[in-house]
Structure 1
Amino acid sequence: MPAPTALPVVEPVTDRVAWDALVRSLGGHPLQLWGWGEVKATGPWRAHRLQVRSGDRTIGAAQVLVRALPFPFRALSYVPRGPAVAPADPEAPVGYGVGDEATRASVTAAVVAWCRSNVGGVGVSLEPDWPAGTPTTIPGAAPGPEPILCESTLILDLTRTQDELMAAMSRTTRSDVRKGGRDVEVRRVTEEDDVRAVLGVYHETALRAGFALHDDDYYLSVHRELGDDSVLVAAFQDGRPCSFVWDAVSGSTAFELYGGVNDAGRKARANAPVKWHAVRLAQDAGLLRYDMNGLLNDGISEFKRSFADHEDLLVGTIDVPFSPLYRVWVRAIPWGKKALRRLRRG
């Protein structure tokens, strides 16, 4: 099918069920779901859901988060792991929202134009869920110097068999999956009381590793707002959680939000069985990918790397400035976008 020729039209979507159905139909990322926008709205962000249409066909969608900034900067728009773009051929498999070059250009141009006209401020940052090297044409765009989400990650291909996925693990991790956690019960957590108990493990993890957390109400909002799209897997020992991984899921992708382990979980070697259980749940649900959400030079990332014999790189942050103040914002105010990056765990 030829690339769309009609000028794209941007239509706000205000119905939660319709929006989530649209995101799933385009293979969109979990951070584009309505519930994630509601989670972020518990803080300084406001969510706008935009459908991009060409003629009688929807060619893309973007959940735009808007944050008010101090004068004179006014505002920043941000599209986490979006937009989602339809394939040029309506009969083609949806995949995970990458689309073709012409459709990507139409969708991104429409989203940027909406942000410029309706939000303004210093500009918009997009962090698409597209592999590095994906051709992108966005007039005025530049690589973002302060990403919020890490462009280097590890994505498991869930179309592979479980034996193939196991074969790609390190020997130690494969052994832990098979033998570790024998003294624990690994299961999905759905009840709020269990979620609260898991958050106790997260507090222990944060204290040991030295990173900051939101308050518990924030994480409970993740559980409530995402609903069935929140997949929290934990290991329990003597009825108490000792290790967990918390994913958000869409129609194509499972995306790790949080994870942690306490001393009991470390002794039981529960981390690998917990993560593997989450991977299998995603595969059983028919998802295509399991994204471990970022690789850094730390022990957590080394553990993630033990699950595969490869790494993945995404296109990274794409900034489109709307104002000369953009350069001041990203270079002269260190507490600005760097502060947003420190909150990327949320």
Structure 2
Amino acid sequence: MKHGYVLKMIRERRIWDGFLEEHDGHLLQSWGWGELKAEEGWRPLRLALCEQSTGRLVAAAQVLCRGADWIPTWCGHLAYVPRGPVLDWSHDEQRAIFWAALHRLLRWRGALALRLEPPLLAGTALGEKVARHLLTSGFRPVRTIQPLRTIMVDLRADEATLLARMKEKWRYNLRLAARRGVTVREAQTLEDVRAWYELLKVTAARDGFGIHRYEYYERAWLIFAPRNQLDLLLAEHDGRLLAGICVGRMGREALYLYGASGNEQRQLMPNYLLQWEAMRRARASGATRYDLWGIPETEDEHEPLAGVYRFKRGWGGEVVRFIGGYEYVYRPLGMGLARRLLGERLAL
């Protein structure tokens, strides 16, 4: 390849995750996330742009490919980069070289289209510049798969400052939980994971949202927890499990992924103590921000998740919006056929 770079397939977790840690990559670009999604029918390609002279990685994209079970084999497959790629977005030449190499490879492998959701924020100079560049480089905007908006809590302050930034009721409730004997510990066994999943089923039924089968969460815990990339925190009272949350970690970010709580003893406020303990642990591990992972796209009080939004809003974080999803179509005829065959499923 010209310009002294080459696109390589990375086959070692240590090299891949090491690059992500160094460059503040997202958990959804991690080796483990690719492993987890492989069980759901995705095929991860871990592609890195490397300097030819030194072999040093300068950019990377975990591309999740899916085809055979969604789309007839002869039709092609879809390629998806969640919260990526990981690169220096301000380096115009390097970015252009990376896109050219990635497009070339995906076309050769038979991709119908590439869909990506960059980890860049709308309203920032860099985010707006990249969004304009994507639109003038053949990409078109599409609906996102990952949350478009979220709340980020800045963990760089000391604990007293973090508490002061919260709404008063949130401080009161987490202290109330501690005073009334609620304790928080990390899950240690698969029995702990199973007990938490039983609470998740209760939560899903109560709040009306869908969940994965148990094996998905078990595999996530087995993949990430041994590498200190995920904590399953459990809140208990007198030995009884009340609630639990899964918090992922990658680079300088902690990410609240899943939460579950029972219908009994909710007056003990276990969810408040759980979130505070998760933030404290994330900060102690070196994280500088805590992503509360998704809020409704509008401020409408009638949104189905308005209650979840109010809970997340009380922690003193900043509401942020990503620049959105973008799609680059390689094979328009094949993509048109796939849309007719799959309809709404193509957006998943």
Whether TM exceeds 0.5 here: the answer is: yes
Whole-Å Cα distance in 2 between the matches of residues 100 and 163 of structure 1? 38
1:190-339 correspondence to structure 2 within 5 Å: 190-227=188-225, 228-264=228-264, 266-296=266-296, 297=303, 298=305, 299-308=307-316, 310-325=318-333, 326=335, 329=338, 333-338=342-347
Corresponding position of 1:74: 76
1:85-104 correspondence to structure 2 within 5 Å: 85-86=87-88, 100-104=91-95
Contact 1:201/1:262 (8 A) holds in 2: yes
Corresponding position of 1:152: 149
Whole-Å Cα distance in 1 between the matches of residues 162 and 93 of structure 2? 34
Change (3 A) 1:332 1:142: farther
Corresponding position of 1:39: 36
Whole-Å Cα distance in 2 between the matches of residues 294 and 38 of structure 1? 23
Which residue type is aligned with residue 61 of structure 2?
A
Corresponding position of 1:91: none
Change (3 A) 1:213 1:176: same
Change (3 A) 1:324 1:303: same
| Deviation for aligned residue 1:109 | 4.1
Whole-Å Cα distance in 2 between the matches of residues 290 and 74 of structure 1? 38
Residues 256-289 of structure 1: CA deviation (Å, up to 9, x unaligned): 2111211235221111110111111111001122
The runs of 5 or more residues in structure 1 that have no matched partner are 87-97, 341-346
Instruction: Name the count of aligned residue pairs.
Output: 322
Whole-Å Cα distance in 2 between the matches of residues 304 and 336 of structure 1? 30
Whole-Å Cα distance in 1 between the matches of residues 323 and 48 of structure 2? 22
Q: TM-score, normalised by structure 1?
A: 0.86
Contact 2:66/2:78 (8 A) holds in 1: yes
Whole-Å Cα distance in 2 between the matches of residues 153 and 208 of structure 1? 23
Contact 1:154/1:311 (8 A) holds in 2: yes
The runs of 5 or more residues in structure 2 that have no matched partner are 297-302
Contact 2:64/2:80 (8 A) holds in 1: yes
Residues 30-77 of structure 1: CA deviation (Å, up to 9, x unaligned): 111111111111111111111112443321111111111323642111
Contact 1:197/1:240 (8 A) holds in 2: no
SS of equivalent residue, structure 1 residue 154: strand
Change (3 A) 1:13 1:208: same
Question: Considering only CA atoms, is the larger Rg found in Structure 1 or Structure 2?
Answer: 2
1:16-35 correspondence to structure 2 within 5 Å: 16-35=13-32
| Deviation for aligned residue 1:213 | 1.6
Whole-Å Cα distance in 1 between the matches of residues 325 and 242 of structure 2? 35
Corresponding position of 1:343: none
Larger helix fraction of residues: 2
Contact 1:78/1:124 (8 A) holds in 2: yes
Corresponding position of 1:183: 181
| Deviation for aligned residue 1:107 | 3.3
| Deviation for aligned residue 1:164 | 2.5
Residues 235-259 of structure 1: CA deviation (Å, up to 9, x unaligned): 0123232112211111211112111
SS of equivalent residue, structure 1 residue 236: strand
Which residue type is aligned with residue 155 of structure 2?
L
When structure 1 is superposed on structure 2, of 321-330 and 123-132 the one drifting more is 321-330
Whole-Å Cα distance in 2 between the matches of residues 308 and 101 of structure 1? 35
| Deviation for aligned residue 1:337 | 3.3
Change (3 A) 1:177 1:61: same
Q: TM-score, normalised by structure 2?
A: 0.85
| Deviation for aligned residue 1:104 | 3.9
1:131 has 2:131 as partner: no
| Deviation for aligned residue 1:180 | 2.6
1:59 has 2:58 as partner: yes
Which residue type is aligned with residue 66 of structure 1?
C
Change (3 A) 1:13 1:164: same
| Deviation for aligned residue 1:320 | 1.1
